[in-house]
Structure 1
Amino acid sequence: MREQVILTGMVIKSAPAGEYDRRLVILTCERGKITAFARGARRPGSTLMAASAPFVFGTFALYEGRDAYSLVSVDVQNYFREITEDMEAACYGSYFLEFADYYGRENLEAVETLKLLYQSLRALLKSAIPNRLVRAVFELKLMEINGEYMEKPLGRLEDSTIYTWEYVLASPVEKLYTFTVTEKVLEEFTKCVAENKRRFVDKTFHSLDILDVLVYK
Structure 2
Amino acid sequence: MSAGGERRPPLVRVLAAELAPSRRGEGPAPRLMNPLRPVPEGFSPRRSAVLALLAGTDDPALLLQERSATLRSQPGQFALPGGRHEDSDRDDVETALRESAEEVGLRAGDVEVLGAFAPVPMPWRDLTVTPVVAWSPVRPPVRVVDEAEVARVVWAPLAGPGSLTDPACRVPALLDGRAAGLALDLPGDAFVWGFTAAMVDALLHRGEQPPPPPRGPAREVPSARR
Q: How would you bin the TM-score normalised by the shorter chain?
A: under 0.3
Q: Which has the higher contact order (CA 8 A, sep 6+)?
A: 2
Bigger Cα Rg: 1
Compare the two structures and name the one with the higher strand fraction.
2
Compare the two structures and name the one with the higher helix fraction.
1
